[in-house]
Amino acid sequence: MAYMALYRKWRPDNFNNLVGQDHVSRTLVNAIKSGRISHAYLFTGPRGTGKTSTARILAKALNCEKGPTTEPCNECAACRRIDSGSSMDVFEIDAASNGGVDEIRDLRETVKFAPVNGRYKIYIIDEVHALSRDAFNALLKTLEEPPEHVVFIMATTEVHKVLPTIQSRCQRYDFKRITVDDIFGRLKTVVSDMDIQVDDEALRMIAVKADGGMRDALSILDQCIALSEHSLTIDRVQQLLGLVGKEWLDNLVSALQSRDAAAVLTMVDEIIRSGKDFQQVLGELGIHFRGLMIFKAAGIVDGVDYYSQTDESIKKQAAGFTQEQIVWIIRRIHEAANEVKWSPQPRIAVEAALLEICQRDILMNKSASADKAPSAQPVDDGRIAQLEAKLAHMMGMLKSGAASVATPKGSAAAASSAPKVTATVAKPVQVAANITEDGVELWQKTLDHLRATGKEQVMACTQNCTFMGMNDAQFVLGTPKGVIKGLLERIYRKNIEEAFGAVSGLNLSLVCQEVATVPEPTPRKGEIQEDVPPPTDDDFGISELQDDARERLDKAVDVFGDGFVHPEDIQ
C-alpha cells in the first residue's frame, strides 16, 4: 500500500476527534440530536483548522446507515464511500478550479434528483470565495429554496469575499486557530503510535511553527521524521525549518542586554554564514521579545505561548530591560524587517537595527523628546501673512503718529489719557555691525527695489524697521516688539535677502534685532518728510456710532490696541 501522509492518516473521523473546535462540534451534535438540520452551512476560519474534515464528518453523520447520528460508525458502506470519495450522494467541489457560472448551472440541474444511497445529497464546496459573482448569483436561488434532500456545506478562508446574500442564507461557523497546547497534545498522540523517539521540545517547536493549523503541524512532523532516523530532536527541527534556534537567540539577547556591540556583530556574521534568512531571523527575534514583553506586563500567563522559552530564562532576560525598552525594541525590529524587504544590502539594515538596540537609552530619549514636541498643524500661511502685514502696517502708522486714539465725543478724560509715542534709544545690537552712510544708502535702495517689484506686504513690515548696520556676513534690522520680528524671520527673510543682494551684489544674511522702540527713520538726502495730520473721529465714522457700539469699540481698543487706519489704506 502506498504511503499516506500523516495529515491524511490522522484526519478526524468523528466529532470527538476534532481538535480545538469544541464550540463547532458541540453545536452540530446538538442540532443532529434535535433534528434541526439546516440546508446550508458556511465554515470559515484559518487554513488547517478542520473545516473540510468537519464537513465530511457531518456528511457521514447524516448519511450513516445507523443515522442520522452524532457518532458515525465509519464502518458501513455509506461511511466508507464518503471516506474514499466515491459516494454518489456526497460531492466535493473545488471552487478555485470550478468557480464559473457554467459549473454552478450544472449543479442546479443535479440537485433536483433524489439521493442514490443515502438520506441526503450533500454538496461540499471548498474555497467558496473563489466563485465568480455570476456563479454566486446563479447559486443564490437554489441556496434559498433547495430541495428537502439537499444540504450545502461551504468552506472558506476569506469569508469577506462571500456575498452577504449568500452568508445570510447559511448557518455560519467560525473555526478558531488551534492552540499550541492542543497541537502539542495531538502530536504526542501521533508519535506515540510510531516507532520513533521525539523530544517534547521538538514537538512544541513544531506546534509553535504551525501557527494554529493542525494540518501544517502534521505536515511539518511528517517532513521532520523523514529527515531523522530513529529520533527527532529540536536541533533537527530547527535545521529543517531554517530557524536560528533558541540558543542563538538567548546569546543575542544577552549581548544586547549587556550592550556588547562586538558580540552582536559577530553573531550576525555567524548566522549569515549559516545561510539563514534575514526575515526569519528578525521574525524569531521579535517573537522572542514578545515573550519578554508579556512577562514584564503580566508575569507567567497560563495559555500564552512564550516561544519555547523556559520560565527561568524569561525571568533572567526580562530583568535586563524595562517595559518601555522592550516595546521600543519590538518596534525597531519590525521597522528593520520592512527595510530588509527593499534594501539592496539587507545585512546593513539588520546590523544597524541591532546596534541601535545596543544604544537604546540614547535613542529612546531622543524619540521621547520628539514625541513631546508640538506637532505642526496645517495652516493657511498666505492668509496669516496678509493679516500680519496689515497689523504691521497699522502698528507702523501708530508709532509714526499717523493714527490717534479713537474716543467718544465729550470724553475729555479719556482723550487726555491717550498714550503718546515717545522715541527711545534702541538697545545695542547683539551682532558686530557698523552703520555707515553707504550701508544706509544700500538699505534705501533695497526698499526701492521691494517697492518696484510689488512686494507690498514686505514693505508693510520693513517700513517699521530701521537699518542698524552690516558686516562681512550679515546686515541688521531693528524691529519693534511683537509679530514683526517673527514675520520677517519666518515669511519674508528670503525676499529681503534677495532684494539686498540684488542692489548690493553681496550675499549677506538678515539678522533681526528686537528693540524697545524703533527710532524714526532718517529721511534720504533731498527728501522732505511731510507732516501728516492726525485723523479725527469723523475720519473713522466714530461720531456716528450709538452708545452700545461705542462701548464695544472701547473694549476692542482695550484688547487689540488703539491704532486705526482707513480701510482703503489696508492692501
- DSSP tag of 262: H
Band the pLDDT of 443: cuts 50, 70, 90: confident
DSSP 121: E
Let me know if residue 560 belongs to a domain. Answer: no
pLDDT score recorded for residue 52: 92
Let me know: does 62 contact 118? Beta carbons within 8 Å: yes
Distance CA 270, CA 265 (A): 9
Tally of structural domains, the chain: 4
Beta bridge partners of 93: 125
Last residue of a domain, one of 131, 156, 174: 174
* 94: in domain: yes
Distance CA 561, CA 368 (A): 41
Rg over CA atoms, the chain: 41
CA dist list (Å): 238 to 82, 220, 222, 235, 260: 38, 11, 14, 5, 26
Percent of the chain with pLDDT over 70: 74
- Name residue, grid cell 429554496: 145
Asked if residue 532 is part of any domain, the answer here is: no
Provide the pairing of β-strand 121-126 with 197-198.
unpaired
89-123 CB burial, b ≥16 within 10 A, e <16? bbbbbebeebbebebbeebeeebeeebeebbbbbb
Grid cell digits, residue 420? 503718546
CA distance 240 to 166: 43
Sheet architecture: strand order including 509-514: 466-470, 474-479, 509-514
- Classify residue 470: in a domain, yes or no: yes
Alpha helices in 456-546 (DSSP H): 456-462, 483-487, 493-504, 537-540
**Separation of alpha carbons 409 and 540, rounded Å:** 13
Tell me whether residue 17 is in a domain.
yes
Segment 39-93, tens digit of pLDDT: 999 999 999 999 999 999 999 999 998 878 889 888 888 899 998 888 888 999 8
**Which of 174, 194, 214 delimits the end of a domain?**
174
* Residue 27 pLDDT exceeds 90: yes
Question: In this predicted structure, what is the pLDDT of residue 530?
Answer: 46
pLDDT tens digit string along 272-302?
888 888 888 898 888 888 888 888 888 777 6
For residue 363, CA distances in Å to 115, 359, 369, 438 come to 71, 7, 10, 51
The answer to whether residues 69 and 109 belong to one domain is yes
pLDDT above 60 (res 340): yes
Q: What per-residue confidence (pLDDT) applies to 384? A: 65
pLDDT band at residue 416 under the 50/70/90 scheme: very low
Q: Are residue 144 and residue 20 in the same domain, yes or no?
A: yes
Say if CB 426 and CB 478 are below 8 A apart: yes
206 and 337 co-located in one domain: no
Pair (214, 313) in one structural domain: no
* Rounded percentage of the chain residues whose pLDDT exceeds 90: 18
Looking at the fold, whether 119 and 185 belong to one and the same domain comes out as no
- pLDDT tens string 455-467: 877 887 787 788 8
401 pLDDT tier (thresholds 50, 70, 90): very low
Do 202 and 297 have their domain in common? no
Lookup result for grid cell 443515502: 118
- Record the cell numbers describing residue 145, joined without a space: 429554496
The closest alpha carbon to 69, from 15, 24, 17, 21, belongs to 15
Does 29 have pLDDT greater than 90? yes
Q: Please report how many Cα atoms fall inside a 13 Å half-sphere around the Cα of residue 84, on the Cβ side.
A: 10
pLDDT number for residue 387: 66
3-state SS string for 356-381: HHHCHHHHHHHHHHHHHCCCCCCCCH
User: Does residue 12 form part of some domain?
Assistant: yes
Residue 409 has pLDDT above 60, yes or no: no
What CATH code is carried by the domain that includes residue 287? Answer: 1.20.272
Q: Which CATH number goes with the domain that contains 519?
A: 3.30.300.180
Domain holding 197: CATH number?
1.10.8.60
pLDDT in tens, 100-123: 888 888 888 888 888 888 889 999
Selection from 202-211, 404-413, 449-458 with the highest mean pLDDT? 202-211
Task: Return the C-alpha cell found at 543.
Answer: 461720531
Residues 395 and 335 in one domain: no
Give yes or no for residue 372 having a pLDDT over 60: no
Strand 466-470, strand 474-479: pairing: antiparallel
Close Cβ partners of 252 (under 8 Å, ≥ 6 residues apart)? 264, 267, 285, 354
Q: Do 99 and 117 reside in the same domain of the chain? A: yes
CATH number assigned to the domain comprising residue 16: 3.40.50.300
Is there a domain that residue 463 lies in?
yes
Return the pLDDT at 117: 83
Residue 470 has pLDDT above 60, yes or no: yes
* 342 in any annotated domain: yes
DSSP string, 301-342: -TT---TT--HHHHHHHHTTS-HHHHHHHHHHHHHHHHHHHH
Residue that has been written with the C-alpha cell 487726555 in this structure: 416
Amino acid at 59: A
* Residue 9 scores a pLDDT above 90: no
pLDDT tens for each residue of 495-551:
888 888 888 888 888 888 877 654 555 445 444 444 444 444 444 444 455 566 666
Burial code of 146-176, b = ≥16 C-beta within 10 A, e = fewer? beebbbbbbbbbebeebeeebeebbbebebe
State whether 228 and 282 are in the same domain.
Answer: no
Range of the domain at 230: 180-241
Cis ω on the peptide bond leading into residue 164 (within 30° of 0)? no
305 and 452 share one domain: no
Sorting pLDDT into bands at 50, 70 and 90, what band is 28? very high
Please provide the average confidence, as pLDDT, over all residues in the chain: 78
Give the number of residues written for the chain.
Answer: 571
Residues in Cβ contact with 241 at an 8 Å cutoff, skipping those fewer than 6 apart: 205, 209, 220
Q: Assess whether 221 and 80 both reside in one domain.
A: no
Average of per-residue pLDDT across 487-498: 83
Arithmetic mean of pLDDT, 343-349: 88
Task: Give yes or no: residues 34 and 167 share one domain.
Answer: yes
133-144 and 101-110 helices, crossing angle to 10°: 20
Instruction: Please report which confidence band the pLDDT of residue 379 belongs to, taking 50, 70 and 90 as the band edges.
Output: very low
Rounded alpha-carbon distances, angstroms, from residue 260 to 323, 326, 341, 384: 20, 17, 27, 53
Residues 6+ apart with CB under 8 A from 61: 15, 28, 32, 67, 68, 69, 70, 71, 72
